[in-house]
């Protein structure tokens, strides 16, 4: 006997819907597990979103207090490091403690009292706008001794272990308002030698009186020196004479650096001896400038 196959037509389905009897659907065990997994995944996703939102909020709060990164040049970096070093300076001398405490606010008070400056940070605080420069005291290697002049003077010593190199640097510092100082430093490397020379130049800073004593100039500005002076170091003699405005610095290139740092704009000069020895020439010029403060009219 053949089995009867019941075919449900669309008319039968429509009749069931109209009668209000919903079509029953069987739900398997796999469907239940799948639905539960979706619910759990939704809860975990919601929880992760809340954690991420809280983390972003904390990160932005911390980021507000952090300074923005700014690309700085080499000069700016050196200036920032020098300022940080000056802020962390702990004075050891009585003069340094007085300057740090604000009892001494002008370097003229130090010169008038005859106090000796033993810490370069004192000059940094009292004269913040110092210009620094190096003199060409060395010479690069060249064919037949024709190398170019440079700031580092290289010497070497013969030992059992080999050649020991030493670099020497002469630096000049000044504020272009009458304060000037020079220093010579030696070290096994170039940068430490330069730092040592600048440090010694700050310790040797002096006050140079300026004026106008030329017969061709009748101004009251401090653009030259008040009278003629002469300084001597070894075989080198340097004589400086007042000059009218517009003359300029009639001296060698290395001596121009010293006079510019002192704030002198016009001067005549005469040099005698082996002036190619820059160290002796610079010392002779410095001795001549110091005489301006020693002599009294």
pLDDT tens, position by position, 47-70: 888 888 888 777 776 665 555 667
Cα distance between residue 73 and residue 80, in whole Å:
10
Task: Indicate the burial class of 254 (C-beta count within 10 angstroms; 0-12, 13-18, 19 or more).
Answer: buried
Closest CA to 180 of 108, 117, 257, 258: 258
The yes/no answer on whether domain 129-294 falls in CATH 3.40.50.300 is no
Locate the domains of the chain by residue range: 79-126, 129-294
What is the per-residue pLDDT for 184?
Answer: 96
pLDDT digits (tens, 9 = 90+) for 161-216: 899 999 999 999 999 999 999 999 999 999 999 999 999 999 999 999 998 887 88
pLDDT digits (tens, 9 = 90+) for 257-270: 999 999 999 999 99
Helical spans, DSSP H, in the chain: 10-19, 29-65, 74-87, 94-101, 107-113, 120-126, 190-203, 253-262, 278-294
State whether residue 144 is helix, strand or coil.
helix
State whether residue 211 is helix, strand or coil.
strand
Task: Indicate the angle between helix axes 278-294 and 253-262, nearest 10 degrees.
Answer: 30
pLDDT band at 35 (very low <50, low <70, confident <90, very high): confident
For the record, the structure tokens of 31 come out as 């469907």
The answer to whether the CB of 183 falls within 8 A of the CB of 213 is no
The answer to whether the CB of 269 falls within 8 A of the CB of 251 is yes
Instruction: Report yes or no on whether pTM surpasses 0.85.
Output: no
Give the Å distances, CA to CA, from 199 to 118, 152, 223.
10, 16, 28
Cα distance between residue 245 and residue 242, in whole Å:
10
pLDDT band at 294 (very low <50, low <70, confident <90, very high): confident
């Amino acid at each position: 006997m053949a089995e009867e196959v019941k075919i449900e037509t669309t008319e039968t389905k429509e009749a069931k819907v109209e009668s209000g009897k919903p079509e029953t659907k069987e739900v398997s065990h796999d469907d239940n597990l799948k639905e539960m997994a979706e619910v759990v995944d939704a809860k975990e996703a919601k929880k992760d979103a809340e954690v991420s939102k809280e983390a972003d909020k904390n990160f932005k709060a911390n980021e507000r207090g952090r300074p923005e990164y700014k690309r700085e040049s080499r000069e700016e970096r050196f200036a920032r490091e020098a300022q940080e070093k000056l802020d962390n300076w702990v004075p050891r001398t009585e003069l340094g403690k007085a300057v740090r405490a604000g009892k001494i606010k002008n370097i003229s008070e130090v010169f008038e009292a005859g106090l000796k400056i033993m810490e370069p940070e004192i000059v940094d605080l009292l004269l913040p706008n110092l210009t620094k420069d190096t003199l060409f005291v060395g010479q690069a290697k060249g064919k037949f001794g024709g190398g170019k002049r440079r700031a580092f003077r290289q010497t070497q010593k013969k030992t059992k272990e080999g050649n020991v190199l030493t670099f020497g640097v002469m630096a000049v510092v000044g504020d272009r308002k009458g304060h000037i100082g020079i220093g010579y430093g030696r070290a096994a490397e170039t940068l430490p030698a330069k730092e040592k020379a600048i440090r010694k130049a700050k310790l040797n800073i002096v006050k140079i009186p300026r004026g106008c004593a030329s017969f061709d100039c009748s101004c009251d500005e401090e653009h030259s020196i008040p009278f003629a002076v002469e300084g001597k170091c070894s075989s080198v003699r340097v004589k400086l004479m007042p000059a009218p405005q517009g003359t300029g610095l009639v001296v060698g290139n290395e001596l121009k650096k010293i006079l510019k740092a002192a704030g002198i704009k016009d001067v005549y000069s005469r040099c005698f001896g082996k002036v190619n020895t820059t160290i002796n020439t610079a010392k002779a010029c410095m001795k001549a400038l110091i005489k301006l403060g020693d002599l009294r009219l």
